[in-house]
Amino acid sequence: MNTRYIILAILLLALGAGTMILPDKAEKEELPAERLLLDITSDTRFKEPIFVAQKIIEKDPVYTLIDVRTSDQYNEFHLPGTINIPLKEFNNPEYQGYLDREVKNNIFISNGSLKADQAWFLCRRKGYENNYVMQGGLNQWVENILRPTPPPATASKAAFEEYNRCKAASLYFGGGSMDISTEVRKEELPVKRKKKERKVAGGC
> Which residues here bind another protein, judged by CB under 8 A?
3-4, 7-8, 11, 14-15, 18-19, 22-23, 25, 30, 32-34, 36-37, 40-41, 73, 76-77, 87-88, 90-91, 110-115, 117-118, 121-122, 125-126, 137-139, 142, 146-147, 170-182, 185, 188-189, 192-193, 196, 199-200, 203-204
| Sign, CA torsion 69/60/91/128 | negative
**Position 109: which residue type?**
I
Least distance between another protein and beta carbon 62 (Å): 25
Which CB, 157 or 199, lies closer to another protein?
199
Q: Are 151 and 109 in contact (CB under 8 A)?
A: no
Instruction: Look up residue 105 and give its DSSP letter.
Output: E
Task: Phi first, then psi: give them for residue 83, nearest 5 degrees.
Answer: -110, 160
Which CB, 125 or 165, lies closer to another protein?
125
Which CB, 112 or 151, lies closer to another protein?
112
Stretch (H or E) spanning 186: helix 179-203
